[in-house]
A and B are shown apart, each in its own frame.
Chain A
Amino acid sequence: MKSPITTLVLLAAICGLLISTLHALTKTTIVENRQRYSTDQLRAVLGNASENIIQLDDSLYFSESNGKLTGFIFKQSTVQGYNGNISAWIAINPVQEIRGVRVYEHQETPGIGDKIDTRVSDWIGNFNGTTLAENNWLLTKDGGDFDHFTGATVTSRAMVNSVHTGLLTARNNSIEWTKLADRYHEQH
């Protein structure tokens, strides 16, 4: 009978070997899956238009077609969700109109609050074409323009507020963002 320590080390080595082998075999596909998932999200925000999407920083991208700026895509998070953070990509065109919103991270209740997720429902499409000036950024039941979905007033309200805040941020930064995009073009 070998000492228990030897057995333990040996078995740990076998387990480690199994895991690292599988990890090595699947690594590339998993990284691809992950990247595909996040670029799919970005493309989806633009309604799958065939534009170039170029990264400016972690949370800011711009889109262009034939060298012409077609808008910005930026991250917007809110802590007002029913279950913590809701993070979304918001795409706007150069005149600050919403092109699309996609939630990419949330912990809303499955079956109720998760209707903000496009995999579950199309509710988020309600924001398409809205602007700061022309819309009243409240839920219909609070006197605004946006219908909430059944059973999840908190989540709906959080989304409306979050997109509203996003638009305000975009307006306040629009000059700077355009400069960043121009500078990118000068450098490339």
Chain B
Amino acid sequence: MNSIRTITTEGLWTNNPAMVQLLGLCPLLAVSNTFSSALGLGLTTLAVLTFSNLFVSLFRGLLHDSIRLPVQIMVIASFVTLADILLQYWFFDLHQRIGLFVALIVTNCTLLGRAESFASRNAIGYAVLDGFMMGCGFLGVLLLMGTVREVIGQGTLFSNMHLLLGESGRGLELRFWDMRFLLLVLPPGAFLTLGCIIALKNRFSR
């Protein structure tokens, strides 16, 4: 079961955290209204997921059953705190915008789910790869939703990229039309978009 190939396809497609496991929906729905915040939070989640899998796998031999879950959640919470500090250090303006949701990565069940069901039972290399691929799968769906909601909802793409890339990102914004479709920007739009994406995925993987 543990070939590099299976881990990759599982993370990106067959067992994608957002489309199949339906985990981590809270941040997924909350920050997918623009491409830039989706990218910011997606990359943070990817990093935290990879490192928490690494640590959980590293200590897997030491952990008695009675403390396995507390240790995993502690590791995840620690890495989220580290990510939060680093965001404030490097991307203070972006942190002003998505900071609230960074703390919520702790409650993203994808992380605990992968730590418990994969990292705590597999060798370090595989655990890291699994974390990375699951993170990429999550990031991919987040970016897709960010793109759909931003383009249809507010007629732009890559707005506010300067929060991530510095001043050079300001010129990246594409404006397609001036029409707005409020529904997609508001929270219900997130559910509708995700529903459509899951439906399409199921159609294709049949």
Contact = CB atoms under 8 A, between A and B. Distances in A.
A8 B92 contact: no
Interface residues of A, number: 27
Given A15-B78, A22-B85, A33-B92, A151 B182 contact: yes
B34 A26 contact: no
B78 A19 contact: yes
A4 to B, nearest CB: 4
A143 interface: no
Interface size grouping (class) on chain B: 20 to 34
B21 interface: no
A18 B82 contact: yes
Contact of B59 (A5, A11, A111): A11
Contact of A112 (B63, B88, B93, B180): B180
Interface stretch (B41-49, B65-73, B104-112): B65-73
Contacts, number: 74
B89 A110 contact: no
A112 B182 CA distance: 8
A39 interface: no
A4 B67 contact: yes
Nearest to A33: B92
A112 B89 contact: no
A114 to B, nearest CB: 9
Interface string A6-22: 01100110010011001
A5 B67 CA distance: 8
A150 B155 CA distance: 13
A120 B160 CA distance: 7
Interface in B55-94: 59, 62-64, 66-67, 70-71, 74-75, 78, 81-82, 85-86, 88-89, 92-93
B86 A22 contact: yes
A150 B180 contact: yes
A76 B182 CA distance: 28
Question: What are the nearest 3 A-B pairs in CB distance?
Answer: A4-B64, A15-B78, A33-B92
